[in-house]
Structure 1
């Protein structure tokens, strides 16, 4: 979901996948990537719309993904939890 927000609130799958690869240093397989998007959609965290295909895409429609308000709430909750887990660890994890 963060990759969708980073790309644009109306993100194309190819751009989302590139952002995931850039941020993680690992390119997810197509299957894993689309399975994850489908699961996020079934949970109501993202939604997609289709855009009419162009000649360059042989008329095939193109999906665009958006993070829903529930998805934004889930990201905020996740961020709070992660920040709480990091609290007090700066000295332990500081590089020498």
Structure 2
């Protein structure tokens, strides 16, 4: 009835390519990373697809290190507020332009 959440061999294989594999190897050494490696981990983790993040969370060996990493660097992992403001301004401009075109007719 319950699913075993430990990482399966297919999940491990999915992480063996690209950025996910590098994130996995950096997390295995966390918190013993230099500044350059830590910056690399933060940048890679921010761009990691959700599926790869989920695979990392299910890895029993990496999960505690991932939890500590996310807790320690939560502010660096969030999108900057400027991104949200820019998105809202873009949406507002598009809505205003659309309303102008609709009511002009």
Quickly name the TM-score band, shorter chain normalised: 0.3 to 0.5
- TM-score scaled by structure 1? 0.35
Which has the higher Rg, Structure 1 or Structure 2?
Answer: 2
- TM-score scaled by structure 2? 0.34
